[in-house]
A = this chain, B = another copy of it.
Amino acid sequence: MRMSQGVEWAVHTLINLGCLDDDEPVSTTRLASGHDLPRAYLNKQLQQLVKAGLLESVPGARGGFRLARPPEAITLLDAVDAIEGGGALFRCTEIRQCGTIGARGAGGDFSVACAVKSSIGLAERMWRETLAGQTIAAIQAEALAHAPGMASAVRHAYGRD
């Protein structure tokens, strides 16, 4: 159960795009060279962010990607779900109803959710709520607090000079 590496790329890219003050799109080439990432593969991840409605893509020459919403309106959960697909971490297969135990214990009420599913689901809800409570804007502010030069570095790397 390891998180896809694309999540880290996606979040940093969203933060960087949030550092710009115009709406000009930034090409995959510039976004990739900004953090030494494989251009083609990063493009694949960006396409998923577009599908999720976090980015807008501009095709053709001088095209690229820009934020579809202000950074304050994009949460970590949005980014994680966009890359990972949004499915639940734990998927209950109801084995409690199978086999000799499930058959014999049929006197129980199977309409009530499985206790194992509920317990792990609670932890998963905490995880998702904590992700949903943090916006790209907030993370960007935290990063800028310890590296104030980042904003100008981003603007330079993205051709805003």
Contact = CB atoms under 8 A, between A and B. Distances in A.
B131 A115 contact: no
Interface string A99-110: 111101101111
A24 interface: no
A104 B55 CA distance: 25
In the complex, the 8 A-B pairs of residues with the closest C-beta atoms, listed nearest first: A108-B147, A123-B130, A104-B153, A105-B153, A127-B127, A36-B99, A115-B143, A35-B99
Contact of A90 (B7, B95, B100, B123): B7
A112 B146 contact: yes
Nearest to A154: B101
B146 A33 contact: no
Interface residues of A, number: 71
Given A1-B84, A93-B8, A148 B118 contact: no
A90 B3 contact: yes
A88 to B, nearest CB: 8
Contacts of A33: 99-100
A156 B11 contact: no
B108 A150 contact: yes
Contacts of A100: 33-34, 153, 156-157
Interface in A56-88: 76, 80, 84, 87
A33 to B, nearest CB: 6
Contact of A104 (B76, B107, B157): B157
A101 B146 contact: no
A27 interface: no
Contacts of A95: 8-9, 12, 35-37
